[in-house]
Structure 1
C-alpha cells in the first residue's frame, strides 16, 4: 500500500497540481496510455505465439520450435525488386506515395539465394521484438520533464507544492470563515518568501542545471518562470525526438504514416496495409539434416504485427495531436511571461478585488507588479488561477496588495525609500 502512495506521488498527485492541464496530459495520462498500449504486445509475445514459420513436413516438432525461436530472435526479411527499391530510396515529392507490400510479391519458383541475379533486395524487419519496450520507454520519457520541474521547484527556496496546496485548501473553505483568513495569512507569508528573492535560484546541489548556476539573487525572482518555460520546451522537444527516433527505428518514412492512412481511407475506403508491419516474411535457417548442415528459407507469419500496426498508428496520431497542444501551450506561457501580459493580469485581479479605488488600479498594479511580484510572483498566481479559478487568484492578489501596502507604509514611516 505504501508503494502505491509513493507511485501516486511520483506521478504528480491528483489534488495538488503544480503545472497546467497540458502538462498533466503529458506526464500522467500519456504515460499511462503508452503503458496500456504495450500490454497487448507483451501478452502476445510472452503468452501467445508472436511468430509462426512454415517448415518442411519432415521437420520434427523440436526443429519447428527451433525455427520459430530462431526467426523471432534474429529477425526476418522480405524481398523488393530493383524498381521498388528505387521508389523507396527516391520517393515522389508529394506524400503519400505508393508502398511495396510484401504479400504482393510472388516468391514461388524463386531461388532465394540468387538475389543479385534476380535483382532483389532484402528488407529486414527487426523492430518487432522491441516494440513493447519502445512503448514503455516512450511513456517514461513523457514523465521526465515533470521530474525535473518537480525536483527544482521543490528545492527552489519555497515548496511550490505546499504553496499551491495552501491555495487549494483556501478555495475549499467558504468565505467568512476564520480558518480561511488564517490560511490566507499563511499563504501571503509563504508567498512573500518567494517574491523576496530567497526562492530566486535553486539552492539544492542535486538540482544544478546547465547554464543555470546556483546562486542567490535578491529582489523579485524569475527562476521558476523561466524554468517552467524551459520544461514546456522539453515537452515539445520530447515529442519531436520521439517522431525522429520512431522514423529511424522503422527504417522508413514514419513521418507520413498517418497521412498515408488518411489517403487510403479516402481513396479506397479501407484500412491501409502498411509495409512497415508486414504479416508475411522470410527467414533463412541452417539446420542439421542427414549428418550435415543445410540452409532453409522458411515463410513466416507475424501475427504480432496485427497489433503493432494498429498500436503504432494510434501512437502516430496521438503524438501528432499532443505535439500541437504542447507547442500552443509553450507559446501561451511565453506570452504570459511578457511584462505587458503580467501587468494586465495583475490589473484585472486588482480591479476585481475592489481593495482599492478603480482610479488607482493602474498605478497600483504597475507598482506591485514591478517592485514586488516580478516574474515568479505573477507566474505562481497564474498557476493558482489555472488550478483553482480566477476568483481564488483575485482574493489572493487583494491580500497581497494589502500586505504590500502595509509593508510600504511601514517602510516609509521608518524613513526609507521603497
Structure 2
C-alpha cells in the first residue's frame, strides 16, 4: 500500500513539473480540469452504451419471428422512443403516434460523441494561445521557457539554485534586449506602441475565448438535451431541485427511464402489422447524473474564467499598479533597496521590464511561487543596475558581463522560505572581484 502511495505521489510530482507555462489556474481548470472530466465521461458512457445493453424492450403481443425482439430493440434505439408516463394515455393509431414525433428522444445515441466534441473544444483556446505566443512575433517562446525553468528550480538542489536563477535571468535578458518600441503611423501622427503589450492583449483574447467556450457549451448542452426556452439555460438548477424534492422523470419528463416505440412490421403477402414496445432506458439514469455534474462544473469554469479575466484587466489597468507590484519584489530581494529612489524602480518596471516583463514575473509567481519570483526579480534588478550604470555594457555579450554576487535577500529567521537564496558563503565572497563588488551597481 505504501508503495502505491509513493508511486502516485511521484506521478503527481512529474505531472506538476510539466505544468509550468504561460497560464494561470483558470486556464488549467478549463483545458485540463474540464478536458479530463469530459474524457472520463466519454469513457464511462461509451462503455455502458457499447459494451452493455443500453436498451431493453418488452412487447405485450406475441408476433412471429425468432429475432423479432432483438430487431425491435435495435429499431427503437436507432429511431428513438417517446416518453409516456405510466398514467398517460397510449396512442391508439398511427396518426396519434405521428403527433408524438416532436416529443421523441434521440439524443442518447449521440452522447459519447458530443462529450468528445466538448472535450476538444475546451482544448482549442490553449492551442490558439500556443500558436499566438510561439508564432506571432510576441517572443512568447522565451517567456514560456523562463516560466518552465522557474518551475524546475523548485526541484533543483539548493546548492545549484542560484546558478539556475542566473541562467533564467540570462534567458530573460535576451527577451529584454530583443524588444523594441514600435511606431505606428495614423492620421493623427505617429505614436509609440508599448513594448510587450501584444503578449498581454493576446492572453486576454484567449481568456475571452475560454469564457465564450464555457458559455457556448452550456447553451449547446441545453439545445442538445431538448430544452428550448431561454430560462432552460439554468436546467442544472431545475434538475437538482427536482431530485432534492423527489420529483422523478414522470413529472419532469427529463431524462426518462421508460419510453414507448411504435414499430411497423411488413410481412410478405399480408397487410402491414404494427407493434408497440415498452423500452427501459437505464442509460438515461447515468446521463442525468453526468449532465447535472457537467452543468455545474462548466458553470464553475465560466465563473472562474470571468473572475481571472477581470483580475488580469485590473492588474494591467494602470502603470502605478505595475510599478508597485515590482516594488514589492525588489524590496524583498535586496537589502540595499533604500539607496534607490522610487523613480528608479518605476524606470526599472516601465522601461526595463515593461509590460511583457511584468507579465513574465506574474507568471513565474503563479507557476513557481513567491520564493522563485523574488529570486528572479533580484536577478533582473542586478542586471538592470549594471546596464543603468554603464549603458555601453548592453552591446557586450552576456557572458562578458559580470554577474552580481548573491546578496542578503531577507533574514532567514523572518523569511525561512527564502533560505535557499540567502547570503553567499565567505568562500564565494573571497573569490569575487573586489572592484566589481564595490561598483555603484551593488551599493
Q: Which of the five TM-score ranges fits, normalised by the shorter chain? A: 0.7 to 0.9
Answer yes or no: is 1:47 the counterpart of 2:51: yes
TM score, norm. by length of structure 2: 0.73
Q: 2:35 aligns with which of 3, 14, 31?
A: 31
Alpha-carbon deviation of 1:105?
4.4
Alpha-carbon deviation of 1:147?
1.6
Q: 1:164 aligns with which of 147, 162, 171?
A: 147
Cα distance between partner residues in 2 of 1:162 and 1:385: 14
Alpha-carbon deviation of 1:296?
3.2
Q: 2:171 aligns with which of 179, 182, 190?
A: 190
Answer yes or no: is 1:295 the counterpart of 2:274: yes
How many equivalent residue pairs?
362
Which position in structure 2 is the counterpart of 1:129?
A: 109
Cα distance between partner residues in 2 of 1:66 and 1:271: 30
Which position in structure 1 is the counterpart of 2:290?
A: 311
- Compared CA separation, residues 289 and 13, structure 1 to 2 (3 A): farther
How does 1:9-158 map onto structure 2 within 5 Å?
A: 14-55=18-59, 56-78=61-83, 102-108=84-90, 110-115=91-96, 122-155=102-135, 156-157=138-139, 158=141
Cα distance between partner residues in 2 of 1:413 and 1:34: 53
- Compared CA separation, residues 113 and 47, structure 1 to 2 (3 A): same
Which position in structure 2 is the counterpart of 1:411?
A: 391
Deviations 1:321-355 (A, max 9, x none): 22111111111122122223312210111111125
Q: 2:202 aligns with which of 212, 217, 227?
A: 227
TM score, norm. by length of structure 1: 0.77
- Compared CA separation, residues 30 and 142, structure 1 to 2 (3 A): same
Answer yes or no: is 1:261 the counterpart of 2:261: no
Cα distance between partner residues in 1 of 2:193 and 2:101: 67
Alpha-carbon deviation of 1:361?
5.1
Q: Give yes or no for contact 1:196–1:219 (8 Å, CA) kept in 2.
A: no
Alpha-carbon deviation of 1:232?
1.4
Cα distance between partner residues in 2 of 1:240 and 1:62: 46
Q: Give yes or no for contact 2:179–2:195 (8 Å, CA) kept in 1.
A: no
Q: 2:375 aligns with which of 395, 398, 403?
A: 395
Cα distance between partner residues in 2 of 1:112 and 1:337: 68
Q: Which has the higher helix share?
A: 2
Name the SS of the counterpart of 1:60 in structure 2. Answer: coil
Cα distance between partner residues in 2 of 1:12 and 1:150: 19
Name the SS of the counterpart of 1:289 in structure 2. Answer: coil
Cα distance between partner residues in 2 of 1:271 and 1:321: 26
Cα distance between partner residues in 2 of 1:413 and 1:70: 80
Name the SS of the counterpart of 2:85 in structure 1. Answer: helix
Q: 2:220 aligns with which of 245, 268, 277?
A: 245
Which position in structure 2 is the counterpart of 1:284?
A: 262
Deviations 1:350-383 (A, max 9, x none): 1111254336352222111111111111011001
- Compared CA separation, residues 154 and 164, structure 1 to 2 (3 A): same
Deviations 1:261-280 (A, max 9, x none): 343355x3566664231122
Alpha-carbon deviation of 1:199?
9.4
Deviations 1:16-69 (A, max 9, x none): 333112222221222111111122221222111112222331242312211111
Structure ID, larger Rg: 2
Alpha-carbon deviation of 1:191?
1.0
Q: Give yes or no for contact 2:348–2:384 (8 Å, CA) kept in 1.
A: yes
Q: Give yes or no for contact 1:145–1:235 (8 Å, CA) kept in 2.
A: yes
For structure 2, list consecutive stretches of 5 or more residues without a partner in the other structure.
Answer: 1-11, 183-191, 395-443
- Compared CA separation, residues 44 and 265, structure 1 to 2 (3 A): closer
Alpha-carbon deviation of 1:404?
1.4
Cα distance between partner residues in 2 of 1:391 and 1:122: 62
Deviations 1:271-317 (A, max 9, x none): 66642311222222221236343333332222211111111111111
